[in-house]
Amino acid sequence: MPIPTPANTIFFLCDLQSIFRSSIPSFDHLVFTANKLLRLANLIGCEVVSATQAARALGPLDPAIELNSVGPLHIGTFDKTSFSMVTHEVQAILQARPEVKNVVLFGIEAHICVLQTALSLLQPSFRSEPYTPYVIADGIASHNAWEVPLVLQRLRQEGAVVTTSESIGFQLIGDSKQPKFKAFSQLVKETKEGTERAGEVLVLGTTKTPLEAPPPPPAVKSSAL
């Protein structure tokens, strides 16, 4: 399994379309992690491919996703009817980049398009060697939250790597002496609270938020009674 480096890694953003906000309660956490990963991609110089599912019917990517933050590193957004992101257009992108061995994969839905994209990368029909998908646990979700741990178990069995947005960042940076480490460290600090909350919701499955009001105090009986 090749060690992920900026030179051999590409980022895949899968189907984070606004229409799914109503069916995936954790959608805002997904957008947070996606934007964090896009900032990481821009920092280290990794290209980004994004996809939509049947955009004519389901609409575009959510406008809160900051694809402009990666500038020319964003190769494009490709619409699809297949559930896998690895369409003919995306195959051509990968074939034109033989140095790419690893794919950082995040988006929705975990048990459909994320799963099938990862399986397509693990068993490519267009090259002899598989890619290694790095599936971001705090960057994927399904409308049925219970689907996610089952999908992650299967992906591990198939050969994908399940990791987190922070862990893949440190792995791609690789060394605290790396010139980009200071900027990366600042990114980690700036996103610390949101990363913690996304992990609690998307990985641990809690619904607690920092904005929850404390329970009211118990009523105190009057001494006159």
Does residue 79 carry a catalytic annotation?
no
**Calpha distance 117→154 (Å, rounded):** 13
Smallest Cα–Cα separation from 169: which of 180, 159, 158?
180
| Burial tier of 113 (Cβ tally within 10 Å: 0-12, 13-18, 19+) | buried
Catalytic residue from among 36, 46, 101, 113: 113
Does residue 62 carry a catalytic annotation?
no
Catalytic residue from among 36, 46, 80, 138: 80
**Calpha distance 145→152 (Å, rounded):** 12
Amino acid of residue 88: H
**Calpha distance 129→127 (Å, rounded):** 6
Buried b (16+ CB within 10 A) or exposed e, 41-72: bbbbebbbbbbbbebeeeeebbeebebeebee
Does residue 113 carry a catalytic annotation?
yes
Catalytic residue from among 14, 15, 46, 101: 15
So which residues are the catalytic ones? 15, 80, 113
